[in-house]
Structure 1
Amino acid sequence: MTTDPIAAMDSESERLAAIQNLLRAGDRDKARNAVKAWLSDQPKHPEALYFYAVIQRTDGQPDSAMQTLAELLKIQPEHSRAVQELGHCQRQMGATALSLKYYQRATRMNASLIASWQGQLHALQKLGQRNGLNQIAEQIDYLRALPPPLLAVMDLQARGKRLQAEELCKRFMQKNPRHIEGMRLLAGIALEMGALDEAALLLTTAEKIAPANQRVQLDCVQLARRQNNHDEARRRANKLANSDPENLQFQSLAAIEALQVSDFEAALAGFERILEKQPNDPATLTSLGHTLKTIGRAEEAINRYRKATAVRSGHGEGWYALSNLKTYRFDDADINAMEALCRGDELDPGHIPFVRFALGKAYEDRSEYAESFTQYAAGNAAKRQQSYYDADDMHADMQSMATFFDRALFEQKAGSGDADPAPIFIVGLPRAGSTLLEQILSSHSQVDGTQELPNILSMAQQLRRRSEDTTYPEILADIDADELRAMGTRFIADTRIHRGNAPFFIDKMPNNFRHIGLIKLILPNAKIIDARRHPMACCFSGFKQLFAEGQEFSYQLADIGRYYRDYVELMSHWQSVLPGQILQVNNEDVIEDLPGQVARLLEFCGLPFEEQCLHYWETERAVKTPSSEQVRQPVSDKGQHQWRNYSPWLDPLREALGSHLVRLSEES
């Protein structure tokens, strides 16, 4: 009996390549047998199912192929080539409109799929629709012109394989150091990894070489936005919009950036102009809804959100936006529509969490907590499936901070860093009350509130990538006092754009707690405030909040519980090696005794008492976190015990936290 040589291969990549080669060579029988053998060993392997569906379709069995693809997408909803294959099946069956839907979804998931762009072009032409044809043709030309390694980089990046994409792109750039698209792709990967300085260097170089390249200009807008430099983002977006008034992408970008800097009149006018030409664009309808909501025109916002979900039921962001309106309640028809979406295949993977979280809120408003929890858990599971978060890796990272940053290191590095006392860092977990503390302090005449600034996280990421031999934080041992001072000075300079004229300013990026050691080396006189909230309340509030990015530990109860425990242990370490330099403020204490806690905060920051800090909700300033509405009202304990409604389903959280931390919540 002979052994199938493909089945005997150890490497999955070798197996895939062998099957691809057989299909390219037209040896369909061998390819079919190899895939069947693979499925016999691993019946749910996504790539084996994908190739089986391809073979079924090309054998003239599109119905069978679609059944295989449905099974695959249950296992891996983000498999963009499976969605593309659904488009091919529908096209083969003569269902042009349905093929268009799947091709469009595939390119939203993975813009490198040339066949899906070509499928859209064919479908639109056959349907007699000319809107968007030129842009699609331009995208096809762009992808065809890309060197194959860079097309592969795009594909890897779209599939979340950032390290592989980066490695391949760097190899290409070593041979082609002035290739604009290579620079752009490498900058995009750096942006995704939080290495903002690295991305900025690449894009600055690309812009010097090709100042008229509009794709580079678009990337520069995204970079400025990630740097929270919204004035620069708007300047660049307006420049693009003025250069091509008929380009709706540029017009939309300009309107979005107007919204970011609170120029609501310009944002409204911009979105309305786009809707005159594309009245049923769900993304623009939703953006217009956000603008109307922000300026208090809630009913009009609801109408735009509802229209967005009407023209594309699978536009999850529209449903989620409705759930975030405190005055809106979903009716039975809404809930049935969202439930049907979750059962069907209308939703892009990125929109599944939006709809699930909207359903969670809908059932919570009806006090149907069991079903509400089921939906929140499903939304988090969908986010978790798209994430590469590893709780063990995060634990090891925090342990490395505690190991490296001992008291001896701070004594050795004493006198390093920039002595500027201006920064006040508010750290902790999200949903722990940091926005409230920021609002209180920024109500003081000597303090500027800013945002969750990315600078420290970006600096830490740059240090991680600085050397192949030594990683962060250990690399700090080799950095001398002058460089540490320069790093602190750069932080002060780079954050100047977010400040007014007050002598102090706040950075409330919660995840900075992991980098307090770095902060105190480069800014020894910075104030650190630890915003703390009881574990069960804090963790569950994070679990049922759909964060845009940066809080991947919140997608699973066990992960968020372990993260909280690691946070408490690391903060205890910082307190021990930096005695008297960190103020812990418990959210429950602020609610119970606002005047006393305000006095503690001001004394720690070296600020005189000002009455306005006790009336923080009267302070007018932009707040862009999920707590924005809460800090517009006097302090309240309304949300402190909401987690108890879900208590029967929180055992994984309790187990991860441990008995001591659970008792803090149970006894409160």
Structure 2
Amino acid sequence: MTEMTSSAGTIEQAVTRLRDLQRANRHDAALQAVQPLLAAHPLNRDLALIEAISLRHLHRFDDCLARLDVLMDRQPGYSLGWQERGLVHIAQRDAPLAIAALVRAVAINPALPMAWRMLEGVYRLVGDTANAAHAAAQGAALKALPPEVVHATALFSDGDLVPAEAIIRQFLIGFGDHPEAMRLLARIGLAREVLDDAEALLAAALTIAPDHRPARIDYIDVLIARHKYAEADRELAPLLAATPHDQRLRTQAGTICVGLGRHDDAIAHYRSLLADLPVLPDDPVNRATRADLNLWMGHALKTIGQRDAAIAAYREAAAIRPEFGDAWWSLANLKTFRFTDADIAVMQAGEASEATAPVDRVHLAFALGKALEDKRDHAASWDYYARGNGHRRAESRYRPEVIETNTAEQIRVCTGAFFAERAGWGCAARDPIFVLGLPRAGSTLLEQILASHPQIEGTQELPDIQRIVLELQGREPDLDHPRYPGTMADLTADQARALGERYLADTRVHRSEGRPLFIDKMPNNFRHIGLIHLILPNATIIDARREPMACCFSNLKQLFAQGQEFTYAVDDIARYYRTYLNLMRHWDTALPGRVLRVIHEDVIDDLEGQVRRMLDACGVPFDPACLAFHENRRSVRTPSSEQVRQPLFRTGLDQWRSYEAWLEPLELALGDALTTWRT
């Protein structure tokens, strides 16, 4: 290299020097310097873009487009790559292709002044005055914003969250409240899942600028992410009434309908969106959108028991995008679906391809694990399950110590004496029935049985207890030295009652049938039984428990949509199971008789006896409809949705034994839990 030596330092420093060469119009030198770096770092998009820019300036347009083909195939969401493609087509005097590329660029990243300027010029060239005016308006809007906000927005849109956040925070410190800057910081918070901060920022921005439509749309996204579907619905209604054909608003409407349990309405939204969306097979964004809509429609159809229609929707999603791992996994996650040999070949090709996105590869691995398990090829099946788990665990930030510390704190704080001093506290209502425990332990089956009773309504895995926990933890919690559950000791009787009343008020939106009792089936609520008892002392609490090998194995082969990060490694799931047993034994000591334990295997062996136990605990008379639970057509959103629509069979109890050759580490990690799990 003539302008760059091997001691140039980091890639970031190299990129800076290469850009300096380009600013000095030394494109031959920049190209000579970037190519060996790109050979060593072929996935670095900054280097790839620098190479493309220099090739364009050197009028090597075909070479430039070939490099951009590779870049955009790997990173189709990189706006600067599409902008560069547009600039090449402008240089080639190809207006249609230039417009297509530049429109793609600004769709990903609206904070691209150059792209808007070029679009305005090309539109005027072809006589499209309306779009030229729109591009000019967008460019003028960017020019009216502070440069720091424009730069940070561009970085954020291309996924560079760290520098974007640093720039926008520094700007807000110096400038003060600025609605667009506050909106951007909220969007960064949403991307980082710091949802309470994002909600507060957007609410404040809308107080300053109530007519800021993009901020209100983002606010709806945050409310959806926080499962505040009723509030999101209220915010969306006037926007959707004003612009009923807006694709983003209609998509939000579908998501809200799912969250509120209005699945028929959600399906109608998705079908309408698909009907209005053109079919553009060569447009990756169009293909991704159509595939996603079919996937979401499949989920809603599955939830209401329309299995065949759900399968058709999932298959359509996979046909549009053969590497779409979520579509294949959704078929596998029906549990009762069986793949063909041709399906397996397509999935194996996708899982093995370097071009497949990591998230798709994980979904494909789990789907192949299930497909080959059904083929009784257990060695190959385990290999795919292990690969999927390995990928998922590698990207996870889960630390078992956090859960164990919280458990130790629950045991320290929530003693029998603690509750005796607070006897009579909380909201006296007996409406909620909490079905909790580990995932894949039979809680969906218990919910389906109970929801078949005319006095009990099934809802879903409600996030409301966790939301209260987050408030008690405070912002920016120290997970190694948590404030919760210690903060429960600071609550007054009035505050405990108010929390119980708020829980009932917030969950009422899910109670569409008006039955006196309802089920909250969030498994992880077992960690918060002390809080539940404090704020809702008359609620029913049922612990769904399953034999440890069967339960842990079932978790190891399950890919969860979100959360449950402890399920992707043998040691993690074993430690979690043992921690669960430890905490449940504490609740038995501190709150004797408060929790009804229901063993999954006992339900299989003695359905009527276990049903009578549960109904007695809920305070309702026996009803034979609970024995015919599989005939209940209610909505079920968990992975067991198809299984609970069938009569009980014993065949699933010992599925793990087909994998015994690979599960010795799990047995060792579980230790005495294998013999003491019932107590």
Query: In which range does the TM-score fall when normalised by the shorter chain?
Result: 0.7 to 0.9
- Is 1:393 the counterpart of 2:402? The answer is yes
Contact 2:323 2:356 in 1 (8 A): yes
Which AA in structure 2 matches 1:270? S
- Is 1:551 the counterpart of 2:531? The answer is no
Q: 2:97 matched to which residue of 1?
A: 128
Give the distance between the partners of 2:477 and 2:307, measured in 1 at CA: 53
Contact 1:166 1:186 in 2 (8 A): yes
Give the distance between the partners of 1:56 and 1:565, measured in 2 at CA: 62
Give the distance between the partners of 1:300 and 1:611, measured in 2 at CA: 30
Q: 1:221 matched to which residue of 2?
A: 220
- Is 1:610 the counterpart of 2:623? The answer is yes
Which AA in structure 1 matches 2:580? Y
Match of 2:546 among 511, 526, 533: 533
Instruction: Tell me the SS of whatever aligns to 2:203.
Output: helix
Change (3 A) 1:100 1:26: closer
Q: 2:326 matched to which residue of 1?
A: 317
- Is 1:365 the counterpart of 2:369? The answer is no
Match of 1:634 among 644, 647, 654: 647
Superimposed CA distance per residue, residues 417-443 of structure 1 (whole angstroms, 9 cap, x where no aligned partner): 222222211111111111111111122
Contact 2:457 2:518 in 1 (8 A): yes
Q: 2:290 matched to which residue of 1?
A: 284
Instruction: Tell me the SS of whatever aligns to 1:584.
Output: strand
Describe how 1:287-366 pairs up with structure 2 within 5 A: 287-288=293-294, 291=297, 293-294=301-302, 305-325=314-334, 328-366=337-375
Contact 1:400 1:473 in 2 (8 A): yes
Match of 2:446 among 406, 429, 437: 437
Change (3 A) 1:177 1:61: closer
Q: 2:203 matched to which residue of 1?
A: 204
Give the distance between the partners of 1:184 and 1:407, measured in 2 at CA: 47
Contact 2:366 2:557 in 1 (8 A): yes
Q: 2:130 matched to which residue of 1?
A: none
TM-score for both structures, normalised by structure 1: 0.79
Q: Cα distance, 1:592 vs. partner?
A: 0.7
Match of 1:69 among 41, 44, 49: 41
Give the distance between the partners of 2:540 and 2:154, measured in 1 at CA: 42
Give the distance between the partners of 2:29 and 2:416, measured in 1 at CA: 65
Q: 1:498 matched to which residue of 2?
A: 510
Number of aligned residues: 613
Which AA in structure 1 matches 2:297? T
Q: 1:380 matched to which residue of 2?
A: 389
Q: Cα distance, 1:349 vs. partner?
A: 2.1
Change (3 A) 1:527 1:140: same
Which AA in structure 1 matches 2:290? T
Give the distance between the partners of 2:603 and 2:547, measured in 1 at CA: 12
Give the distance between the partners of 1:588 and 1:422, measured in 2 at CA: 28
Contact 2:294 2:313 in 1 (8 A): yes
Give the distance between the partners of 2:170 and 2:467, measured in 1 at CA: 24
Match of 1:595 among 584, 601, 608: 608
Instruction: Tell me the SS of whatever aligns to 2:544.
Output: strand
Return 388-397 or 244-253, whichever deviates more. Answer: 244-253
Q: 2:119 matched to which residue of 1?
A: none
Q: Cα distance, 1:60 vs. partner?
A: 5.0
Which AA in structure 1 matches 2:68? S
Which AA in structure 2 matches 1:542? N
Contact 2:86 2:97 in 1 (8 A): no
Change (3 A) 1:190 1:496: farther
Match of 1:118 among 78, 83, 88: 83
Superimposed CA distance per residue, residues 565-607 of structure 1 (whole angstroms, 9 cap, x where no aligned partner): 1111111111111111111111111111111111111111222
Q: 1:137 matched to which residue of 2?
A: 106
Superimposed CA distance per residue, residues 319-344 of structure 1 (whole angstroms, 9 cap, x where no aligned partner): 22343456654444433333333333
Q: Cα distance, 1:141 vs. partner?
A: 3.8
Describe how 1:90-101 pairs up with structure 2 within 5 A: 94=63, 96=65, 99-100=68-69
Superimposed CA distance per residue, residues 372-410 of structure 1 (whole angstroms, 9 cap, x where no aligned partner): 111111112222222111112222222222222222222
Return 360-369 or 469-478, whichever deviates more. Answer: 469-478
Q: Cα distance, 1:540 vs. partner?
A: 1.1
Contact 2:332 2:338 in 1 (8 A): yes
Change (3 A) 1:307 1:524: closer
Give the distance between the partners of 2:199 and 2:400, measured in 1 at CA: 30
Change (3 A) 1:532 1:233: same
Return 506-515 or 264-273, whichever deviates more. Answer: 264-273
Contact 1:184 1:202 in 2 (8 A): yes
Instruction: Tell me the SS of whatever aligns to 2:454.
Output: coil
Change (3 A) 1:57 1:321: farther
Change (3 A) 1:285 1:616: same
RMSD: 4.0
Contact 1:380 1:556 in 2 (8 A): yes
Instruction: Tell me the SS of whatever aligns to 1:94.
Output: helix
Contact 1:591 1:636 in 2 (8 A): yes
Contact 1:259 1:291 in 2 (8 A): no
Instruction: Tell me the SS of whatever aligns to 1:205.
Output: helix
Q: 1:270 matched to which residue of 2?
A: 272
Q: Cα distance, 1:140 vs. partner?
A: 3.4
Unaligned runs of 5+ in 2: 1-5, 23-27, 56-61, 114-141
Give the distance between the partners of 2:521 and 2:151, measured in 1 at CA: 38
Instruction: Tell me the SS of whatever aligns to 1:426.
Output: strand
Which AA in structure 1 matches 2:405? A
Percent identical pairs in the alignment equals 39
Q: 1:454 matched to which residue of 2?
A: 463
Change (3 A) 1:139 1:289: closer
Q: 1:475 matched to which residue of 2?
A: 487
Give the distance between the partners of 1:529 and 1:140, measured in 2 at CA: 49
Superimposed CA distance per residue, residues 154-197 of structure 1 (whole angstroms, 9 cap, x where no aligned partner): 979998999x9989977765555633345445555666787765
